[in-house]
Amino acid sequence: MLLLSHPEGLTAAEIAKRFEVNRSTIHRYLEDLPKEIYLDGRLRKVDRQQLEIQVQFSLNEALAVHLAARLLANNIDRQNPHAASALRKLGVALEDLAPMISDHIKKSADEIDEEVQRNDPAYLNNLETLTLAWAQGNRVSLRHFNSNGSISPAYEFCPYYIEPSAVGRSAYVFGWSETHQSMRTFKIERLERVELLDIPYCLPPDFNPQDLLTYAWGIWYTDEEPVDVVLKFSERVAHRLGETRWHRTEQVTKLSDGSLLWRAKIAEPQEMEHWIRGWGSAVEVLEPPELREKIRTDAIETARIYGFSAAQE
């Protein structure tokens, strides 16, 4: 625990001083320390990537972890051996308590490892480096691919939070860019290289990712006022719409004809366009005008693809 609180490492003399024992006492016990404690010059450090966390789950807690891992596996298209390994350990732990659930969990781990998932060592290495930097509170240097395929300059970046997104089947890292002197979000799949820096940073005491993403449909946030989005859903999908709470700010009103009026405050309505289109003719965008026009234009273009002309509208 002492070494975990000092990621920069401590010498044997410094450890002895903190425990108020002789330095020779520390040297006698160093040989008995687990393999996750290693020597870097004169400094003893903890390998956080190898140190295993001891945790106990009840049956329902174990199932909750399994469901979370299943969502991750279904929404990220790259292999993640860490997720698979975690599920296998969970499956083994449940063998006696719940053998049928145990078997299903271990099969889920195999599914994550299947070749149908994209094997992307660079992505995994970048994710591991960001995880370690986040755990230690260290900055990273990162470069990302631009939309034209070129590579950006290196940015010095403080990772504050990592968030998966079902919208793009991707994961994103939020944090402070020392280069831009502002908050930035990077899609991890789009990062070309991430390097750990031996430069610590402090997470702002008022940083709360839930607050940051309050008005986001997925992961897009803004410093501007959120936009009021108003949609009208037909009666034929009213029940299906009401089965799920789609956004934390939503308000739903049932109209006299059985249709539903859906309202929410959204940071960037563009991020929810695919969801709106998925309801087809069962939804009408009422506000904001720009979003209504965008969906209308797309609908006209789609109609033309299927042989309907403007005269037939």
In DSSP terms, 193 is beta-bridged to 143
Residues contacting 157, CB < 8 A, separation 6+:
139, 140, 141, 142, 173, 175, 176, 177, 178, 179, 184, 186
Q: How far apart are CA 289 and CA 293, in angstroms?
A: 6
Q: What's residue 310's pLDDT? A: 56
Bridging pattern class, strands 251-254 and 283-287: unpaired
pTM (predicted TM-score): 0.75
Q: What's residue 277's pLDDT? A: 94
Sheet containing 170-177: order of strands: 182-187, 170-177, 155-165, 138-144, 191-200
Which position has the higher pLDDT, 36 or 14? 14
- Give domain limits for the chain: 12-46, 59-113, 121-212, 227-311
pLDDT single digits (tens) 177-217: 999 999 999 999 999 999 999 999 999 999 998 888 899 99
pLDDT single digits (tens) 70-121: 777 777 677 788 888 888 888 898 888 888 888 988 888 888 777 656 778 8
Angle at 74 between CA 172 and CA 247, to 5 degrees: 60
Residue showing tokens 């975690």: 86
For the chain, the 3-state helix, strand and coil shares in percent, each to the nearest 5, are: 40, 25, 35
Predicted confidence (pLDDT) at residue 26 exceeds the cutoff of 70 = yes
- The DSSP annotation for 24-78 comes to HHHHHHHTTS-TTEEEETTEEEE-TTTPPPP----HHHHHHHHHHHHHHHHH--B
Q: How far apart are CA 277 and CA 288, in angstroms?
A: 16
Pick the CATH number of 121-212 from 3.30.70.2740, 2.30.30.520, 1.10.10.10, 3.40.50.720: 2.30.30.520
Domain covering 227-311, topology: Alpha-Beta Plaits (3.30.70)
Count the helices and strands in the chain (H runs, E runs): 10, 11
Percent of the chain scored above 70 by pLDDT? 96
